[in-house]
Chain A
């Protein structure tokens, strides 16, 4: 029996998603019984031209991780969409923009200026910038064009399924792979198009084992400023935990080891804009006797954008800073 064809790609991302797939450990053998890898730059040596040579729909399952922020990301996203039957936005960056999405507070030029001329550790007196094209005796060399705006995969191509998380948890990845493998062999059906897979209903708080009492805070603290109580809800201790505005599925791993939820599983069912919802939540639990005092405390929130939209700026309503 010929095996199903599997591809995975890494656009604007850290690479953790590819490693996360290997976290399924010995099940990778079972995976290999069902799939032939036909493109996966981290694991195999296929080139873009190999993919270009495949027939449309040749790939049965493509896990695309990473946001789309340059012309190469965009080209490969469109290419893989064309060649794949099932296209999955895999991980926080592909589904929501992720950490690279925070680049949407700047323009491409501002980023290049910082990286190539302003950083204190640089030695670049001639202000040399990378060029998109360079003519050498052998011909013209090209670098991808860096866009001003980081986009999600679904803002670039048609996406069938979404698996959020930074990175997605191994047991969730395996659960999704099992469903897809069964469907490809005619033993089951694929979920409805557009489904968010590898997640649980409700929010991160639902999976968090910490004791939750009354949510009231009289100020905001960061996790390194004090030693948090190991049992009590972190938010109730005044640390900004994005759990209430985050989809469940990870098993609340961060909060179980004393770190706040940063929101990598994205907004829960019914929420469009994760950051706005978290802002709403947090501002509503400020405990002070007068509106003026509440407003004063609210105004001390450090970096609301980076905290509430750490993983979701490109998929938020405003999507980026003003240009």
Chain B
């Protein structure tokens, strides 16, 4: 796949209590960050099932960001503790499937951290740009064509 003019497609799962408000703050504060991330508001980072991450990756996302409240700040007391456990295990699994480490990222971003949100999205976009396109859907389509 050609990487010329590659623009990363990133899906961001943002918890509605902290990180989504952090994104709002970045916006209302007129902070600049790349437009490559499509935000999806979730009730909690603990609501982000690995199924969601895999659906995004299998349908053409190049990277996935999960952002939630800092530990101790979860609106649901311990939802983000679950995220803390799922993330490294998902990373292990994705590595076994041949994904480079760094395609999926977890960050704790509070409602007051608009700057951290903008910085995270900027960094992550550049990181994915350096990794290049993932093209999982293209690969599956090619496999489909091989034995049709």
Cβ–Cβ contact B57 & A318, under 8 A: yes
Q: Are B96 and A304 in contact (CB under 8 A)?
A: yes
The contact string, 1 if C-beta is below 8 Å from chain A, for chain B 57-97, is 11000000000000100000000111011111111110011
Please report the C-alpha to C-alpha distance between residue A301 and residue B46 in the assembled complex, in whole angstroms: 19
Known: A280-B49, A317-B58. A301 touches B92 (CB 8 A): yes
Report whether A291 and B51 are in contact in the complex, using a CB–CB cutoff of 8 Å.
no
Of all chain A residues, which has the CB nearest B108? Answer: A291
Of the residues B49, B84, B136, contact of A318 by C-beta under 8 Å: B136
A322 proximal to B (CB < 8 A): yes
Minimum distance in angstroms from B2 CB to a CB of chain A: 18
Q: Is the CB of B86 within 8 A of A298?
A: yes
Are B51 and A295 in contact, with the CB atoms below 8 A?
no
Interface residues on B, range: 20 to 34
- Counting CB contacts under 8 A, is B143 at the interface? yes
Cβ B89 vs Cβ A148 within 8 A = no
For window 111-148 of chain B, which residues contact chain A by CB distance below 8 Å? 136, 139-140, 143, 146-147
Closest A-chain residue to B97, C-beta based?
A321
Residues of A with C-beta under 8 A to B143: 148-149, 319-320, 323
Interface set of A (CB-CB < 8 Å, partner B): 68, 71, 74, 105, 147-149, 151, 156, 272-273, 275-277, 279-280, 282-284, 286, 290-292, 294-299, 301, 303-305, 308, 316-323
Determine the chain B residues whose CB is within 8 A of the CB of A303 once the complex forms. 96
Most buried by A among B86, B90, B99: B86
CB-based contact B98/A321 at 8 Å: yes
> B99 touching A290 by the CB < 8 A rule?
no
A-chain residues with CB within 8 Å of residue B87 when the two chains form the complex: 295, 298
Q: Is B55 an interface residue (CB 8 A)?
A: yes
Indicate if the CB atoms of B96 and A298 lie closer than 8 Å.
Answer: no
Task: Say yes or no: B139 contacts A304, CB within 8 Å.
Answer: no
Q: Any chain A CB within 8 A of the CB of B34?
A: no
Q: Are B96 and A286 in contact (CB under 8 A)?
A: no
Q: Is B101 close to A, CB under 8 A? A: no
A322, B97: Cβ atoms under 8 Å?
Answer: yes
B contacts, CB < 8 Å to A: 46, 49-51, 53-55, 57-58, 71, 80-82, 84-93, 96-99, 136, 139-140, 143, 146-147
Nearest residue (CB) in A for B58 is A317
Complex: chain A residue closest to B51, CB-CB: A276
Q: Is the interface of B mostly helix, strand, loop or mixed?
A: helix
New A-B pairs, 19, CB < 8 Å, besides A276-B53, A277-B50: A105-B97, A149-B146, A151-B147, A273-B50, A275-B93, A276-B49, A277-B49, A279-B93, A280-B49, A280-B50, A280-B86, A283-B85, A298-B88, A299-B89, A303-B96, A318-B136, A319-B58, A319-B140, A322-B139
Contact of A279 among B46, B50, B71 (CB under 8 A): B50
A297 lies within 8 A of B85 (CB): yes
Q: Are A283 and B49 in contact (CB under 8 A)?
A: no
Q: List 26 A-B contacts (CB under 8 A).
A: A74-B147, A105-B97, A149-B143, A149-B147, A156-B147, A273-B50, A277-B50, A279-B89, A279-B93, A284-B86, A294-B81, A295-B84, A296-B88, A297-B85, A298-B86, A298-B88, A298-B89, A299-B89, A301-B89, A303-B96, A304-B89, A305-B96, A319-B143, A320-B140, A322-B98, A323-B139
Bound complex: CA A216 to CA B106 (Å) = 23
B147 touches A71 (CB 8 A): yes
Give the chain A neighbours of B46 by CB distance below 8 A. 284
Task: Tell me the complex Cα distance, A85–B41, Å.
Answer: 46
| Residues of A with C-beta under 8 A to B92 | 299, 301, 304
Question: Given the complex, which residues of B lie within 8 Å of A292, measured CB to CB?
Answer: 84
Q: Which residue of A lies closest to B142 (CB)?
A: A323
Partner of A291, one of B55, B81, B139: B81
Q: Which residues of B contact A294 (CB under 8 A)?
A: 81, 84-85
Q: Which of A301, A308, A318: most chain B Cβ within 10 A?
A: A318
